[in-house]
């Protein structure tokens, strides 16, 4: 077996290495607010996460941590950012490859969700991870109508406005929002009966 040495004649094992962990921000909209799934262990409240095992991929570690720590399965998280501050974890030198997944509330109905505004006193830098996850979500929803398809295949413009307002954290202007989003939607021939007033037309995503 060939033993690799670098230009300084050092082996890979001659260099100190950090431990590698994964942490996942599972976001959902509940009761008009962006919420995050948190778990608790002996260190305190935190995002679902774990250390990456030997010969394990990051993706497999994420799915394992969600299953074992939060009892969540069937999701496809994507990488968000690498948090590598040397002092981010008081247990030692640990780099975290943070992940993000945005899901309808119904798909995690068995999980306790905390409004991100109330997610305080978390371990390590998990509050910072959540802040970046929410910024990423808000930027996506600023650019396009419901890019995570939280509303399902068909929805009214009012449904869409309420969802985007919840994610933005503020009530969005109805007329400006409609002008910006309507051109990116497909108008259907279906209507949703209303309890008050005329039925509301249903729309769907342009790529659907």
Distance between CA 43 and CA 9 in Å, rounded?
41
Is the CATH code 3.90.79.10 the one for domain 14-142? yes
Helix (H) or strand (E) holding 188: strand 185-192
> pLDDT tens digits for 43-84?
899 999 999 999 999 999 999 999 999 999 999 999 999 999
Instruction: Look up tokens 């975290």; give the residue.
Output: 96
Coil, helix or strand for 189?
strand
Q: For residue 111, what are its two tokens?
A: 């999980």
Q: In the chain, what are the domain boundaries? A: 14-142, 144-205
Q: How far is CA 202 from CA 22, 78, 114, 155, 185, in A?
A: 40, 30, 31, 5, 10
User: What integer pLDDT is reported at residue 203 of this predicted model?
Assistant: 96
> pLDDT tens digits for 176-195?
999 999 999 999 999 988 66
> Class assignment of domain 144-205?
mainly alpha
User: What integer pLDDT is reported at residue 150 of this predicted model?
Assistant: 97
Asked if 119 and 25 count as a contact pair (C-beta separation under 8 A), the reply is no
Burial 87-122 (b: 16+ CB within 10 A, else e): ebbeeeebbbbbbbbbbeeeebeebebbebeebeeb
Residue 143's closest CA among 180, 102, 100, 104? 180
Ranges of residues in the chain with a pLDDT under 50 are none
User: What integer pLDDT is reported at residue 17 of this predicted model?
Assistant: 84
Q: What is the pTM of this model?
A: 0.91
Coil, helix or strand for 55?
coil
């Amino acid at each position: 077996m060939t033993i690799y040495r670098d230009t300084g004649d050092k082996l890979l094992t001659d260099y100190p290495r950090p431990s590698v962990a994964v942490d996942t921000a599972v976001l959902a909209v509940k009761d008009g607010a962006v919420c995050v799934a948190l778990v608790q262990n002996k260190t305190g409240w935190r995002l679902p996460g774990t250390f990456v095992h030997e010969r394990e991929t990051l993706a497999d570690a994420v799915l394992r941590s969600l299953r074992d720590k939060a009892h969540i399965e069937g999701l496809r998280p994507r990488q968000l950012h690498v948090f590598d501050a040397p002092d981010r974890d008081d247990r030692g030198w640990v780099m975290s490859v943070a992940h993000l997944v945005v899901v309808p509330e119904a798909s995690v109905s068995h999980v306790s969700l905390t409004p991100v505004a109330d997610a305080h006193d978390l371990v390590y830098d998990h509050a910072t991870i959540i802040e970046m996850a929410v910024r990423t979500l808000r930027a996506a929803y600023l650019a396009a109508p419901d890019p995570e398809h939280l509303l399902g295949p068909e929805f009214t413009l009012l449904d869409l406005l309420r969802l985007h307002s919840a994610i933005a954290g503020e009530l969005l202007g109805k007329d400006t929002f409609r002008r910006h989003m309507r051109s990116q939607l497909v108008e259907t021939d279906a209507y949703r009966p209303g309890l008050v007033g005329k039925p509301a037309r249903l729309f769907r995503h342009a790529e659907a």
